[in-house]
Chains A and B, each alone.
Chain A
Amino acid sequence: MGCLLNATSFDKNAPILYVLVSVILLVVVAQAVFFLVRAYRRGVKIGMEKAVLNKTMLRAAIFTIAPAMAILVGIVVLAKELGIPLPWLRLSVIGSFSYETIAASVFKGDVDNGTVYVTIALVMTCGMLVSMFLPLITGKKIQRGLIKIRQKDKKWGEIFMTALFLGMISAFLGYIFGSVGEGASGWIPVCVFFVSAVVMAAFGGLLKITKWKWINDYALPVCIVAGMAAAVPITMLLG
């Protein structure tokens, strides 16, 4: 099979790469829409209120905006070395900014030929093999295990689920304090964390006083934006 381009005409922003990435992302979007429609219909069937399901969609959309902007920044950063299509693909699907950055660093220098580009793309892909295939193998067993726990002892089943979430949150709480040893600048994420926490506490207080339920829909997204905005002056002060 003849090559579409040769090594000397390598272009990390070649139009065909955009086409490839678009096709892959369209399939992923189709999967998301398929599960969305299926879950929505099932929710209606088992008697969940449509208003609750619609609100969930709105909340998820609003919640996503700020973190997605940060992911977009990741694409901009990686695009300098790798062009746009590869970071766009990696950060739209299974990848994460931290992993893709580390994987891209296996080659120091300008990515100016197809062999280097392909090898970096392969390293990025191989690192996520377990994340791609293991859930397909273990997903059913894990969910059935949880069901058994709940069947055995419902109260413990509830505590078990709560403990899972708190275990994750506690790890990220520690992570935020993981740079304090580098001096004043290491306290920036800690200050951002507390700004976000204080805003959330203020929303909680406001909700108690006013009973405005709609506050719930915007509390966490506003906390995220407030924390991110506060990071700018905090960095000027401590950075």
Chain B
Amino acid sequence: MKKANTFDDRTHLYGRIWGLAAALLIISYPFACLVIFGASIDWSIFATGLSIIVMYCAVGAVETFTYSPMLGSGGTYLGFVTGNLSNLKVPCALNCMEQAGVEKGTEEAEIISTIAIAVSSVVTMLILVLGVILISFLTPLFENESLAPAFDNVLPALFGGMAVVYISKNWKIAVVPCVLMLVVFIVSSYITGGGELSDTLIGVMVPVGVIVTLFSSRYMYKKGWLGEMTPIEGKNPRADTVTVSEKSDLSDCAEGGPAAEEEISDEEKRGEK
């Protein structure tokens, strides 16, 4: 067996071990209940859910290829176990990377993303544990009809703030996908006379949006239209100051270069600074 030498290699190794353990435990829940209650599986009810299972498996595949590059290695393994990706983990990681001023795709970004997702997961767990303990007190509050709109609108509230930051800094890249997505969702809404279709569409349109953005930005890049672009990473005047060195780029980790070693000598650290 090939030895996992670099930090990046070990991240993948540990990620797979923890991910597999967590997945097996999660899968075991229905079977444990089956034994506990002496129950069986109602295959007619299960068959009713088959189309939903297939659809969400497809969404899961798409999410894997869409979100993994954004979250980095550690963030991916952790994020896909703890869930709530689009409504919490991905925006949280994005916000933290933006605020820390790290260049995405570097080892610093990987570290910030992993820390953000790990802390977010633990805080979510704590809030949910507290909520479960206090559920009898909280239920009347959460079922209060006048408060319901607040909890129904977390996504617009979250993406409103994010859109200002990201779109304003990269409007050239954003214009094509934003216009396309607005047209698709608004037209579909008027055709169906409601918003039911948008809940299904979003699973498909996230990867479509990503692919369209990649193609359009590649075209603009080739044409030289993005020459003066300021990427959201690395040049954020509001961000904290971080030592971002070429040495700590993930590419070095992949090749087992100096920065990829788990142990970094003091000379190397001084060299980076």
Contact = CB atoms under 8 A, between A and B. Distances in A.
B195 A186 contact: yes
B104 A162 contact: yes
Contacts of A173: 159, 163, 178, 181-182
Contact of B161 (A48, A113, A157, A196): A196
A234 B146 CA distance: 11
Interface residues of A, number: 169
A132 B189 CA distance: 32
A175 B202 contact: yes
Contacts of B96: 56, 59-60, 63
B160 A192 contact: yes
Given A88-B128, A128-B56, A207 B189 contact: no
Nearest to A63: B92
A200 B142 CA distance: 27
B41 A118 contact: yes
A33 B78 contact: no
A122 interface: yes
Interface in B181-212: 181-186, 188-195, 197-199, 201-202, 205-212
B125 to A, nearest CB: 6
A119 to B, nearest CB: 5
B77 A63 contact: no
B205 to A, nearest CB: 4
A102 B8 contact: no
B21 A127 contact: no
B15 interface: yes
Given A39-B114, A131-B63, A159-B173, A167 B206 contact: yes
A61 B120 CA distance: 6
A20 B29 contact: yes
A184 interface: no
B23 A133 contact: yes
A5 B151 contact: no
A48 B101 CA distance: 12
Interface in B1-37: 7-8, 11-12, 14-16, 18-23, 25-27, 29-30, 32-37
15 contacts: A35-B78, A56-B119, A60-B123, A61-B119, A132-B80, A139-B16, A142-B65, A158-B104, A167-B207, A179-B194, A179-B198, A182-B194, A196-B161, A199-B160, A227-B156
9 closest A-B pairs by beta carbon, nearest first, are A227-B157, A178-B198, A196-B160, A179-B195, A174-B181, A114-B37, A114-B39, A223-B161, A167-B210
